[in-house]
Amino acid sequence: EVQLVESGGGLVQPGGSLRLSCAASGFTFSSHAMSWVRQAPGKGLEWVSAISGGGGYTYYADSVKGRFTFSRDNSKNALYLQMNSLRADDTAVYYCAKQRYALPVIDYWGQGTLVTVSS
């Protein structure tokens, strides 16, 4: 059974940093690209970032480019999203998502972790 468990969310002041983690299990982790998708309160889904199975390629939405860094540790089946220079409009639930191999297609989602940026 595929499981994706996010952690690391919380309250942070504007300009601050936070690191999200996602623990994955139930599939061959290194064979699949992974993504983060966020959802601001009362809003729709927004893709944030993706990483290739080997970790050598990363992609970012314009809204987070230069501020967020996505990495993975295939020896630990773990993902990390380092978020710096956080702004109020980064407030959202952040979902870890498994892609179908390298395709821009999500087949499994985590339960999400809430990030609140506020003073």
Please report, as ranges, the residues that interact with other proteins according to CB under 8 A.
35, 37, 44-47, 50, 61, 95, 100, 103-112
Q: Give the residue with the Cβ less far from other proteins, 16 or 46.
A: 46
Q: Give the length of the chain.
A: 119
Q: Give the residue with the Cβ less far from other proteins, 9 or 16.
A: 9
Q: Give the residue with the Cβ less far from other proteins, 59 or 80.
A: 59
Q: How far is the CB of 45 from other proteins (least distance, A)?
A: 5
Cβ pair 74, 29 in contact under 8 A: yes
Q: How far is the CB of 78 from other proteins (least distance, A)?
A: 19
- As given in the structure block, the two tokens for residue 1 are 């059974």
Q: How far is the CB of 95 from other proteins (least distance, A)?
A: 6
Q: Give the residue with the Cβ less far from other proteins, 88 or 105.
A: 105
Q: How far is the CB of 119 from other proteins (least distance, A)?
A: 27
- As given in the structure block, the two tokens for residue 80 are 């990390």
- As given in the structure block, the two tokens for residue 90 are 């980064």
CA 34 to centroid of chain Cα atoms: 8
Give CA angle at 55 (52, 56), nearest 5°: 90
Rounded distance between C-alpha atoms, residue 114 and residue 94, angstroms:
6
